[in-house]
Amino acid sequence: MGLAMRRPVVAGNWKMHGSRAANETLLADLVERLNPDWQTDVVVFPPYVYLADAVRTLEGGDVGGGAQDVCAEPMGAFTGQVAAAMLKDIGCRYVITGHSERRRLYHEDEVLVARKFGAAQKVGLIPVLCVGETLEEREAGRTEAVVARQLDAVLAMNGIACLAQAILAYEPVWAIGTGRNASPQQAQAVHEYLRRRIAAQDAKLASRVRVLYGGSVKASNAAELFSMPDVDGGLVGGASLSADEFVQICAAAAARH
């Protein structure tokens, strides 16, 4: 399948950053500077407490809003958690599942990630499933085994067809927030592997699913990364907090289309 057939996605994961004032400025800058003619899906993931405000601000426009996490349970006595239906209720369209910070710092295992993915899809949210290896795993030659295990856990629980309404993100843990991005060739190799693994079950889905690269994406490296045939855009952390950087990254993704 040619590059042009998958619409690129640029997703901005704000993590635990921002304030009402800073978010207002950032969103206003983004809305003003993103070109509506760019054939790219753009999504921002503010912290929960600011999400409803952000979604309201973005309503009717081209930028989508998403949550950084979701509870696997549908409702009930789960203090501090947020249900998928609540996210849907406020107009949120996407949710990140399995981010490495949640896997590592909050001990989310593959089964929990798969359940969160399923909970999101059940209410019509689009999960962005993150997979990726640590430096130690890469150096031990285990990259493919690790991302395969992370992907397979989700497919085993939710079925291969779940990928029709989902986005994948390859995020090598050693590249997140370190300033050290994977080379375009390293990213391409893993993206291609993921697509091949999916194709073994469903070739059509494999050619359609969008696979983003995440890990120190910046304005200065985005075009090179996005020029790879299986890299369909980026999941961007630090650089998504600067309208200037983020808009340039979106422009690089649009140029790929």
Q: Which residues of 32-59 are buried (b: 16+ CB within 10 A; e: fewer)?
A: eebeeebebbbbbbbbbebbbbbbebbe
Nearest residue to ligand PEP, by Cβ distance, number only? 237
Q: Choose the catalytic residue: 99, 101, 110, 137.
A: 99
| Contact pick of 154, 235, 243, 251 for ligand PEP (by CB under 6 A) | 235
| Contact pick of 8, 64, 127, 238 for ligand PEP (by CB under 6 A) | 238
| Contact pick of 214, 221, 243, 250 for ligand PEP (by CB under 6 A) | 214
Span of 26-34, 117-125, 150-158, 229-237 interacting with ligand PEP by CB under 6 A: 229-237
Closest to ligand PEP by CB, 180 or 196: 180
95-134 binders of ligand PEP (CB under 6 A): none
> Least distance to ligand PEP from the beta carbon of 79, Å?
26
Closest to ligand PEP by CB, 233 or 237: 237
| Contact pick of 6, 9, 13, 250 for ligand PEP (by CB under 6 A) | 13
Look up 137 and say whether it is catalytic. Answer: no
Confirm or reject binding of residue 186 to ligand PEP (CB under 6 A). no
| Contact pick of 70, 129, 146, 217 for ligand PEP (by CB under 6 A) | 217
Q: Which of 220, 213, 97 is nearest to 166 (CA)?
A: 97
Q: Choose the catalytic residue: 101, 171, 191, 245.
A: 171
Closest to ligand PEP by CB, 64 or 237: 237
> Least distance to ligand PEP from the beta carbon of 254, Å?
19
In SS3 terms, the chain reads as CCHHHCCCEEEEECCCCCCHHHHHHHHHHHHHHCCCCCCCEEEEECCHHHHHHHHHHHCCCCEEEEECCCCCCCCCCCCCCCCHHHHHHCCCCEEEECCHHHHHHCCCCHHHHHHHHHHHHHCCCEEEEEECCCHHHHHCCCHHHHHHHHHHHHHHHHCHHHHHHCEEEECCHHHCCCCCCCCHHHHHHHHHHHHHHHHCCCHHHHHHCEEEEECCCCCCCHHHHHCCCCCCEEEECHHHHCHHHHHHHHHHHHHHC
Span of 33-41, 52-60, 114-122, 234-242 interacting with ligand PEP by CB under 6 A: 234-242
Q: With CB under 6 A as the rule, give the number of residues binding ligand PEP.
A: 13
Look up 171 and say whether it is catalytic. Answer: yes
The phi-psi region of residue 8 (left if phi > 0; otherwise alpha if psi is between -120 and 50; otherwise beta) is beta
Residues with a known catalytic role = 99, 171
Q: Which residues bind ligand PEP (CB under 6 A)?
A: 13, 171, 176-177, 214-217, 235-239
